[in-house]
């Protein structure tokens, strides 16, 4: 149970029971988010964002404020001693643990959140570690699926786009391993899903297929999960240039989807979903943004409450 869990570093830290508990608590937070509460009054959350963020940081802050807690941190590494003066991550953590009750960290290096947790006496939540993982995004994605489709077991889902460097699809793929789902992995060949994630899904007994065109990915599924090609993670920008714009979901492509299918995206989008798609009944990515607040309220309350 997460009540006894100190950190949230990998989605693999959670059992199916833990995930279901977080999703139940997230649903209860819908009302608390409107009324606000004082459940975490006196608690302080430190947000250490070494990489850009809009939704993750602001939804964590909004979640903490709605629970009566306080927030400090930096959103730009250049203004911190880690960026400006070369302070180590270990020293940054050993400092911030004296100012706060929980640390939310985003960092460009794989393994960074795990390292932070090793040096921290207070709980650490991974808000994105390199191209490796983004566990709280996976939880809000599952919450969105459950809310919008009424269930997770029994659904079929296509994970589309940059499955190599995209951390959200790594965490979501592993989270889905706890459920009875059919998964299509939809990526241009150079951006195929990490073998370790495929192994995890297959070992759990999921029906997994790989396809390399978006058109194939859109047909016969309940959920289309689009992602951005992660330009900043390519070792050579020419590789990115060769792949950019390959997957574009426009009105014509939406026509290939089931009428009751939904489109999710962790956002930000670049050009992979045309703005004209936003007004279709399938487009649910801005509703998914709201799930970020209630899911993070549930996570903070289970860790600090
Ligand atoms: C994602 C991330 O940071 O990994 N954004 C988010 O947290 N919603 C997705 C991305 O940057 O493409």
Residue 268 Cα to ligand 1 middle (Å)? 6
Domains and CATH numbers, the chain: 2-134+292-304 (3.40.50.1370), 135-289 (3.40.50.1370)
pLDDT < 70 regions, the chain: 1-4
Look at residue 85 in the predicted model and tell me its pLDDT: 86
Residue 53 Cα to ligand 1 middle (Å)? 7
Residue 180: which residues within 8 A CB-CB, separation 6 or more? 153, 154
Cα–Cα dist 115/135, whole Å: 16
Look at residue 76 in the predicted model and tell me its pLDDT: 86
- In this predicted model, what pLDDT tens digit does every residue of 125-154 receive, in sequence order? 999 999 999 999 999 999 999 999 999 999
Residue 215: which residues within 8 A CB-CB, separation 6 or more? 253, 256
Choice from 266, 268, 286, 292 to test ligand 1 binding pocket (greatest atom count within 8 A of CB): 266
Q: Does residue 106 carry a catalytic annotation?
A: yes
Look at residue 78 in the predicted model and tell me its pLDDT: 84
Look at residue 4 in the predicted model and tell me its pLDDT: 64
Look at residue 3 in the predicted model and tell me its pLDDT: 53
Residue 267 Cα to ligand 1 middle (Å)? 6
b/e map 96-132, b = 16+ CB within 10 Å: bbeebbbbbbbbeeeebbbbbbeebebbbbbbbbbbb
Q: Does residue 192 carry a catalytic annotation?
A: no
Query: Which atom of ligand 1 lies nearest, measured to the CA of 167?
Result: 4
Closest CA to 23 of 172, 131, 144, 105: 144
């Amino acid at each position: 149970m997460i009540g006894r869990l100190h950190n949230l570093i990998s989605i693999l830290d959670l059992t199916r029971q833990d995930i279901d508990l977080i999703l139940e608590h997230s649903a209860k937070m819908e009302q608390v988010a409107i009324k606000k509460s004082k459940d975490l009054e006196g608690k302080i959350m430190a947000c250490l964002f070494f990489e850009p963020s809009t939704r993750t940081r602001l939804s964590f802050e909004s979640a903490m404020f709605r629970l009566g807690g306080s927030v400090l941190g930096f959103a730009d590494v250049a203004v911190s001693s880690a960026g400006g003066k070369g302070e180590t991550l270990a020293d940054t953590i050993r400092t911030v643990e004296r100012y706060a009750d929980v640390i939310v960290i985003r960092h460009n290096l794989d393994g960074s959140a795990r390292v932070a947790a090793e040096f921290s006496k207070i709980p650490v939540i991974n808000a994105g570690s390199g191209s490796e993982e983004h566990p709280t995004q996976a939880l809000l994605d599952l919450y969105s699926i459950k809310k919008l489709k009424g269930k997770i077991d029994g659904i079929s889902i296509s994970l589309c786009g940059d499955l190599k460097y995209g951390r959200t699809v790594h965490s979501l793929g592993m989270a889905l391993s706890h459920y009875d789902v059919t998964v299509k992995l939809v990526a241009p060949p150079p951006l195929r899903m990490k073998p370790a994630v495929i192994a995890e899904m297959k070992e759990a007994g999921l029906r997994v297929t790989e396809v390399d065109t978006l058109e194939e990915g859109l047909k016969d599924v309940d959920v289309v999960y689009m992602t951005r090609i992660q330009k900043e993670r390519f070792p050579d920008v020419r590789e990115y240039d060769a792949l950019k714009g390959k997957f574009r979901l426009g009105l014509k492509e939406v026509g290939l989807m089931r009428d009751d299918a939904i489109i999710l995206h962790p956002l930000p989008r670049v050009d992979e979903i045309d703005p004209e798609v936003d007004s279709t009944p399938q487009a649910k990515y801005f509703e998914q943004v709201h799930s970020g607040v209630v899911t993070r309220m549930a996570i903070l309350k289970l860790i600090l409450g």
